[in-house]
C-alpha cells in the first residue's frame, strides 16, 4: 500500500561525520551551508567529531558558520556510529548524511531532495550506479562496486544498485523506528540501515544521481584494502542478524 504524505515546508538536518579532516572540514561545511542557503527548506548542519584526535572541532567552533552544530566525543568509534549519534540529535523531518570529504559534489543535495518529493520516498540513496550520475573512479573500484552490488542483491534482496555512496536522505519517521535496532559502528552502516528499513516494511527506497570524483579523496590504497575486508565481514554479520536472529524487526 502506497504511503501518502501531506505537503509541507520541510526542515532538513544534515549529519556530517568527521574523522581526521582538520585541513578541509571548514571549507566543506561552508560549501554545505552555501548550498542549503539557496534551497526552499529550513536546515541545520550537525557535525559529529568522531574522536578528538586533531583540530577539526576547534576549527569548526572558531568558524562560527550559521546553523552548524558541533558535537564531539573523545574516542573514535567509527563512521556509522558517528552518523547515528548525529541522527538522534537531528531536529528535521528530513535527515540526511554526507561524507566529510571532497569526493561528493554537495551541489547535488538539491537533486536528492527533489527525488524525496517526486517519489514520496521513505529513503533516497545517492548512487554511483544511477544512469545520470557523473563518476570518476578507477576500474578497480568499479569492479569492487559491481561485485559488492551483486553480493548484496543475492544475499539481501535489496533492489538498490549502490548502498555504499556516502550520501543518503531519510524521513525522520523511518529513523525513529529503525535507529534503536542498529549496531554497526564502522564499515557497513550504510547497508545496515537499508536492511533494517526493508525489514520493517519500508519499500519506498529509491536512488538518485550524484557527482563523485574519488581523485579528490584522501584514502590510501592500504586503507581501502583493509576497508574491503571489514566491509565483507560486517556484511556477513548483518546477514546473520537479519535472517537468523531477526534482529532488525522492531
pLDDT of residue 101: 83
Measured CA to CA in angstroms, residue 26 lies from 44, 64, 70, 250 at distances of: 15, 10, 12, 38
C-beta separation of 123 from 174 below 8 A: yes
pLDDT band at residue 31 under the 50/70/90 scheme: very high
Domain boundaries, the chain: 11-244
Strand-pair partners of 45 = 14, 68
Average pLDDT over residues 121-146: 91
C-beta separation of 95 from 81 below 8 A: no
Lowest mean pLDDT among 16-25, 95-104, 219-228: 219-228
pLDDT of residue 137: 82
Whether the model clears a pTM of 0.85, i.e. scores above it, the answer is: yes
Q: In whole angstroms, what is the distance from residue 227 CA to residue 144 CA? A: 12
* Helix (H) or strand (E) segment spanning residue 230: helix 221-239
Average pLDDT over residues 177-185: 97
pLDDT of residue 3: 47
Domain 11-244 has CATH 3.90.550.10: yes
Amino acid at each position: 500500500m502506497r504511503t501518502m504524505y501531506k505537503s509541507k515546508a520541510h526542515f532538513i538536518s544534515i549529519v556530517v561525520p568527521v574523522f581526521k579532516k582538520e585541513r578541509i572540514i571548514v571549507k566543506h561545511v561552508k560549501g554545505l551551508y552555501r548550498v542549503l542557503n539557496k534551497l526552499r527548506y529550513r536546515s541545520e548542519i550537525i557535525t559529529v567529531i568522531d574522536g578528538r584526535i586533531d583540530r577539526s572541532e576547534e576549527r569548526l567552533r572558531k568558524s562560527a558558520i550559521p546553523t552548524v552544530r558541533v558535537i564531539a566525543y573523545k574516542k573514535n568509534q567509527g563512521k556509522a556510529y558517528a552518523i547515528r549519534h548525529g541522527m538522534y540529535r537531528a531536529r528535521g523531518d528530513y535527515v540526511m548524511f554526507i561524507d566529510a570529504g571532497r569526493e561528493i559534489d554537495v551541489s547535488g543535495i538539491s537533486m536528492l531532495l527533489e527525488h524525496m518529493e517526486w517519489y514520496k520516498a521513505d529513503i533516497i540513496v545517492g548512487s554511483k550506479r544511477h544512469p545520470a550520475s557523473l563518476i570518476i573512479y578507477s576500474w578497480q573500484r568499479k569492479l569492487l562496486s559491481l561485485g559488492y552490488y551483486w553480493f548484496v542483491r543475492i544475499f539481501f534482496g535489496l533492489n538498490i544498485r549502490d548502498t555504499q555512496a556516502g550520501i543518503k536522505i531519510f524521513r525522520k519517521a523511518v529513523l525513529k523506528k529503525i535507529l534503536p535496532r542498529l549496531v554497526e559502528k564502522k564499515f557497513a552502516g550504510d547497508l545496515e540501515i537499508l536492511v533494517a528499513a526493508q525489514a520493517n516494511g519500508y519499500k519506498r527506497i529509491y536512488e538518485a544521481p550524484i557527482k563523485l570524483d574519488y581523485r579528490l579523496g584522501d584514502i590510501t590504497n592500504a586503507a581501502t584494502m583493509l576497508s574491503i575486508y571489514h566491509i565483507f565481514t560486517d556484511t556477513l554479520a548483518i546477514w546473520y542478524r537479519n535472517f537468523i536472529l531477526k534482529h532488525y524487526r522492531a
